[in-house]
Amino acid sequence: MSDVSENLSVVLAAIHNACVRVGRRRESVELIAVSKTFSCDFVREAVEAGHLVFGESKLQEAELKIAASPSGLHWHFIGRLQRNKVRRIMQEFEVIHAIDSLRLASFADEIACELGLFPKVFIQVNIASEASKGGFSPETLHGEMESLLALKRLEIMGLMCIPPAGPTAESSRPGFVALRELRDAVEARYDVKLPSLSMGMSGDYEVAIEEGATHVRVGSAIFGKRSYQVDGELG
Ligand SMILES: *Cc1c(COP(=O)(O)O)cnc(C)c1O
């Protein structure tokens, strides 16, 4: 047995406390338990502890896990979206977190149309313009937002980012603030609502909540240290 249930309680309490600190309602934050690299036994433990929302970053691994897990769970795809896997990902997952280009968004929109789906998606922003990371630069997002909004099938919930890794949780704060401010600017300029912000991982989710995260993607703080890296993981 692992400490999943205990770790979950710790994370849930920290989420609660972060909400209290900044006067947010607890229901405004969704915890996505990132189970990538962990077996379905870990997922089951979390489910037994009452948790139903999971994140995966590789389709093949996720398909096996989803098939072996109880039905009624909510699966979020948080990895890099490859064109040849978009169709299956849309069929298996409730939310896609990392639409990283207009080209990919248009393609996903076509597939959604074929499948008769209206998938919930986040637009990934490369908030610090790092060469190693994918996503829209803030400038590109401003320039392409109108085209993104013209895609009839994608339900754009909001923006997602992974700020540069720093020595402390506080190192991520400027990136979180920048994503929120970018969201506010895009909302005002295009007269749209982008209510959700997917930001914050094990090392910095409390700071992310203080800065407005509605979806935190937390893996190792719940399931333990990952023993291997996932190919195609977002950098
Ligand atoms: C792996 C991963 C996470 C979870 O990372 P932890 O540090 O283990 O919490 C969150 N978001 C993305 C995009 C990931 O690839």
Question: Which pLDDT tens digit goes with each residue over 61-83?
Answer: 999 999 999 999 999 999 999 99
- The minimum-distance atom of ligand 1 relative to the CA of 226 is 8
Nearest Cα residue to 199 out of 233, 175, 166: 175
Q: Please indicate whether residue 61, judged by its CB atom, sits closer than 6 Å to ligand 1.
A: no
From ligand 1's centre to the CA of 9, what distance in Å?
19
Instruction: State the closest ligand 1 atom to the C-alpha of 203, by its place in the atom list counted from 1.
Output: 7
Digit-by-digit pLDDT tens for the chain (235 residues) are: 579 999 999 999 999 999 999 999 999 999 999 999 999 999 999 999 999 999 999 999 999 999 999 999 999 999 999 999 999 999 999 999 999 999 999 999 999 999 999 999 999 999 999 999 999 999 999 999 999 999 999 999 999 999 999 999 999 999 999 999 999 999 999 999 999 999 999 999 999 999 999 999 999 999 999 986 655 555 4
